[in-house]
Amino acid sequence: MVKPIMKLRGTSGGLSILLEPTDTKDSVASALESRAQLLSERVELELGGVIAGEVVQTVMQAILSAGGVLSSFRPPRGTNQNMPATIETVVAQVQPEVPSSGRTEIIARTLRSGTRKETPGSVIVLGDVNSGVELVAGGDIIVVGTLRGLAHAGATGRKDAIIWAQKIASPQIRIGQAIARASDSSSIKGMQAREGDTAELAKLEGDHIVIEPFKGS
């Protein structure tokens, strides 16, 4: 069995993580379990090569569950930093035969106004989603920044899909067939006005979208 070589280093503001190609979902989850306190602060993430998609997802989930913030992200050296880092270009699937609808796409940049992005699986945006952006995902939408554009999670009908962002300030979000607009949703208006560092989670409760501060586990 190959030993993981993920590198963890405490920083003045939290934790720095360097993932390597030999790291696995289980080894990373085990290593991060004892660093939960540091994960609750600011986390720097660097990919040291082509990393399994489920490994990146494991790290992201650990950060979200701890209530932390991904403060910086560095794709593998040689990757065009101005282009989205996708499963195909940066994060390799452990099982290539997994249908495309099960993939998580990682966009390593802020999405600018005028962009429309649609993906059959989930999407993680390592930056902001600016006003004038339309983001549509068959699964979850995770924004490690502020969500100001239109977002539609669970576009394929998934009612368990979520929208998670450091701040939800969107004029409209959708989950499945449900819609919440800033003009008629006190929850969205409340989130727009709220100040602080607590991330926000939007989910379906019955047929209605509920937005609440995310406190982790």
Closest CA to 150 of 158, 160, 159, 165: 165
Name the residue ranges covered by the structural domains of the chain: 7-74, 110-213
Q: What is the pLDDT of residues 186-201, one digit of tens each?
A: 455 444 444 555 678 8
Q: Identify the CA nearest to 190 among candidates 207, 167, 174.
A: 167
Average pLDDT over residues 201-214: 88
pLDDT, tens digit, for every residue of 110-144? 899 999 999 988 888 878 899 999 999 998 898 87
Q: Identify the band that residue 37 occupies on the pLDDT scale cut at 50, 70 and 90.
A: confident
Average pLDDT for the chain: 77
CATH no. for 110-213: 2.160.20.70
pLDDT above 70 (res 89): no
